[in-house]
Structure 1
């Protein structure tokens, strides 16, 4: 519907209409006056999902979580000034994790923005190289025909999806009136504007057909045939990829597999499936060094394990093939021999007919080793390893798990089930591994994916994102939040730098807070958990009830360190 009251409402109507026609249906609105015509236009559309939030940073991560879950471009809408600056951390994460977003920043017209008027900064090209494309057509004028507005939108949305997914930015200077006050607009311009609403789209983009060249497939197939002593590594993958074809490729290849937690495939297997449990344990690292593969095929993005990259650096003679649809170098070990620019599922699909099943000579029985680790974890007090193990063992199929960074993600990355297999959608913010915005991200994911979602987050990350509790309370999507409170950034106490007692507090930011009053402030159900028995009961209860709740799990950091030290001593 065209709001033809004035030029600001006309342009806003056109922008929103073309966004919807381009498949953008999720809009995250932050408060302000300058963006009022855009909001007014959204209110005329029944097919869109509108999410209102006070805190721009929380809204941006909420949109990020939605886009990670759906693969669609989510839209952020804000007023002028510092509002769009608050989106920056999420924009950086979106760029690094190839997540499509579009920022719609309302702005003052140039005569105000360059005259130190209130609430103005230079918003043009604001995000620099942290976005894939941006545009600003200036303030609404009849000199710019409506189809220019529309094809500008079409191009920006195309760039958010191709060749690499990521964030884009449209800056929209709007002159007053910003309400429905009528001003003089020529009938000719109104007719041209109305004409676009009758079209299905202004400009339809068809990206080139993606495929692997015959020569590249021949080279990789030949390497696979001549190197039966191989290892398949699966790093970070979007949940929108076809996981079944990736599993089919792994099955036919029949090499041992190392699965990163962010692949969403780790718990589709058990230790009995010739899966490498971790590279972050000295016994596993030593055994893999003895049985080192001649070739590694690495599917997807970066792994959580830094010791995997140490392995590649130490054994630089290994033939390393990496596969991912990314413009990034993605070579932390500096040893990649062949780089395949392809979506991982497409690569697997095209390679399956070209490879023959083999019997890998790398056959290591990890069961006793894993049994010993599991027994230590089960017999220990509350700890990160206990929490991650019990969550995976207790979760049902077809749920979503959002895993925070730091100790949390490493704890899950190091656990592999002895027997159980389950399909769980796993989400992380591993683009730049920031600790902010995790609750907002998990909420955006839960609202989009229509699956019960559990977030595991540390206490410092929880404190970073307290504002998002308001959105969580008001949302219809249930979210189970497990916040592990060990009174600060405990990951640093597990590192050699922990020996520097004078420096350590400046790294860990110790605190004595608990979060019961935060839950009360936002009227969210809350349970304090201080023992393994309480955790087992409360987590299982939360999974059964499927309602929003905060489970605060207090972990004694010294006991946590003691368990980690014991786990390091486990032998094969």
Structure 2
């Protein structure tokens, strides 16, 4: 066996022993040993993509939903640089990735050799671990090195703060397994029984919870993140504190304040008493309103849960505090002492929020239901309401996630995800496809994505899937307002150069995009037709055409209706 093949096969075998089940490969010559080793392994489902950026975001989506590391492989040169946006998103959102970049051997670096760049530490501080693996040599000790390194990489990706790991692998010729350079000086086998070279430690000891003070004006804020929302829903029920849940927290269930975005922008509520205590978890950074609300709190307890901290340490090693108002950072919380679970507490504060929620909810729905033509906010509300329990919904990072935040009712049974770590436009189609593939491999139901037109155009290559590749059952619902709709509600909208520099009209129908990728296409205009349009199988595009100016005006009208309704009940 030649050294390059030996390294690739041992690395893949050891990663599978750790739990690797999915890998994404972007084609290239220098990465041949890894690609062939992955395709040959019966326990790895391999996905091939022609575009490295698409490949890396596909891996991100697979890893986000499956909650286990996914390997993504590329050749040397600019291929590795195209992984960088997905690595940044994985870092910020705590998604485990194994980034395996092939490289030229040291003797070719810095010589002007083709497809050679400096890949050492390419992703900087965005990775949990970087290793220059070194060129494979047929000497004793290599097998233990490679297998222990694979285990260390897996543990680093899955650690207290999950995220990307980068292994840079320099391969010398020959790159294909059919060239045998002689016997290996030691056994290539791993541990007996199929276990990993280095066993992972058992479960972390649960940290002692921080006992919350007993206050009336408490609030619970659930931001984006992959954590269990149940303790915070229970806390809200026991204390009577309002629970404000962003969509991708998956905590907007029965009892949550579904209209908090409008309520925090309402002058009547905003001018009322400040919260004595805010308990936040995840990344609460979707709206300016929530950040302003955090700044008003007398005390702010940040709970570092799931991917945001290492429970074994007792004190979290990472936490989200975008408003820089945290007074306490803890790993877990418990309700104030003395509360009776049989009698949820009702106070003036809790009753005020509940009355405001009822009034605002009715006001939002009344405005949205005035017309049957689908607006962007109504599409968001109706889409999440219509999908069946067990479904997955991927939300784009611009207006789709904000419209969901502003309009969706509280409900359970639907898992909402999105690229909220960096909230970039990169790779949203590919991430949604990866998320759907992982969701359905694990036995989940249908999958949907709500994206903007620019996000789809930015990642059209994500729709190009080879005939032999696994394909998801995914309906991609695209809001086409011919440009950058999010800017229409910001200060830039009044500038004379707005339309060219920020609006960026493109004039492209999603029907042409669907034709490019040979996908089924539906154009949707009326709200009553949404359930029918969502029917179907496979990867498909559903287009809803809107005007940016109409969406901006409608959102302002909704806020005005909420303000009036809140004034009336408070």
- Give the TM-score taking structure 2 as reference length: 0.89
* Partners of 1:260 and 1:303 within 8 A in 2: no
Alignment of 1:80-229 (within 5 A): 80-143=76-139, 144-189=141-186, 192-194=187-189, 196=191, 200-206=195-201, 209-213=204-208, 217=210, 220-221=211-212, 223=213, 225=214, 227-229=215-217
Q: Which runs of 5+ in 1 are unaligned?
A: none
| Cα drift, residue 503 of structure 1 | 3.9
Q: 1:197 to 1:58 in 2, by over 3 A?
A: farther
* From 537, 545, 565, the counterpart of 2:556: 565
Structure 2, unmatched stretches of 5+, are 309-316
2:550 partner SS: helix
Map of 2:282 onto structure 1: 300
Q: Deviations over 1:187-241 (max 9, x none)?
A: 533xx2235576522112317724324xx62xx33x1x2x132111111121xx4
Do the aligned partners of residues 255 and 500 (structure 1) sit closer, same or farther apart at CA in structure 2, a change above 3 Å counting?
same
In the TM superposition, what is the alpha-carbon distance from 1:43 to its structure 2 partner? 2.8
Alpha-carbon deviations, 1:345-380, whole Å to 9, x = none?
Answer: xx36x6699855533432131223321221111114
The separation in 2 between residues aligned to 1:438 and 1:73, in whole angstroms, is 19
Of the structure 1 ranges 358-367 and 294-303, higher mean CA displacement relative to structure 2 is found in 358-367
Q: Distance in 1 between the 2:299 and 2:84 partners?
A: 38
Q: Give 1:338 deviation, angstroms.
A: 0.6
Which stretch of structure 1 is more off in the superposition, 42-51 or 424-433? 42-51
Please provide the CA RMSD for this pair.
2.2
Please give the per-residue CA displacement for 1:65-103, whole angstroms capped at 9, x wherever unaligned. Answer: 111101100100111111111111000000000000011
Determine helix, strand or coil for the equivalent of 1:194.
coil
1:428 and 1:295 mapped to 2: Cα distance?
A: 29
* 1:379 alignment partner in structure 2: 370
Q: What is the CA–CA distance in structure 1 between the aligned matches of 2:221 and 2:84, rounded to whole Å?
A: 32
Q: Secondary structure at the match of 1:193?
A: coil
| Mapped contact 1:6–1:183 kept (Cα < 8 A) | yes
- The answer to whether the 8 Å contact 2:264/2:289 transfers is no
Structure 1 stretch 445-454 or stretch 553-562: which is displaced more?
A: 553-562
- Residue matched to 2:494: 499
Check whether the contact 2:63–2:95 (CA below 8 A) recurs between aligned residues.
Answer: yes
Q: Contact 1:7/1:185 (CA < 8 Å) preserved in 2?
A: no
Work out whether residues 446 and 477 of structure 1, in 8 Å CA contact, stay in contact via their aligned partners in 2: yes
Residue 113 of structure 1 and its aligned partner are, at CA, apart by 2.0
- Which segment is superposed worse, 243-252 or 39-48? 243-252
Q: Name whichever of 20-29 and 546-555 sits farther off.
A: 546-555
Structure 2 CA distance for aligned equivalents of residues 279 and 523 of structure 1: 39
Are 1:76 and 1:102, in contact at CA under 8 Å, matched by a contact in 2? yes
Structure 1 position 249 matched with structure 2 position 231: no
The aligned runs of 1:420-499 (5 Å cut-off) are 421-450=411-440, 451-471=445-465, 475-499=470-494
Per-residue CA deviations over 1:358-412 (Å, capped at 9, x if unaligned) read 3343213122332122111111443211111111222221111000011111111
Moved more, 468-477 or 155-164: 468-477
Q: 1:502 to 1:169 in 2, by over 3 A?
A: same
Shift of 1:568: 2.4
What is the match of residue 359 of structure 1? 346
| Cα contact 2:262–2:559 (8 A) shared by 1 | no
Residues 246 and 334 from structure 1, CA distance in 2 versus in 1: closer, same or farther, beyond 3 angstroms?
Answer: closer
Q: Distance in 2 between matches of 1:22 and 1:354?
A: 45
Alignment length, in residue pairs? 539
Cα displacement (A) at 1:470: 1.1
How many angstroms does 1:472 deviate by?
8.7
Deviation larger for 55-64 or 463-472:
463-472
- Give the Cα–Cα distance (whole angstroms) in 2 for the partners of residues 472 and 281 of structure 1: 47
Q: Distance in 1 between matches of 2:531 and 2:71?
A: 36
Taking a change above 3 Å as real, the CA distance of residues 279 and 286 of structure 1, as seen in their structure-2 partners, is farther
Cα separation, partners in 2 of 1:352 and 1:197, compared to 1, 3 Å: farther
Q: 1:242 Cα shift?
A: 3.5
| Correspondence for 1:319 among 299, 303, 318 | 299
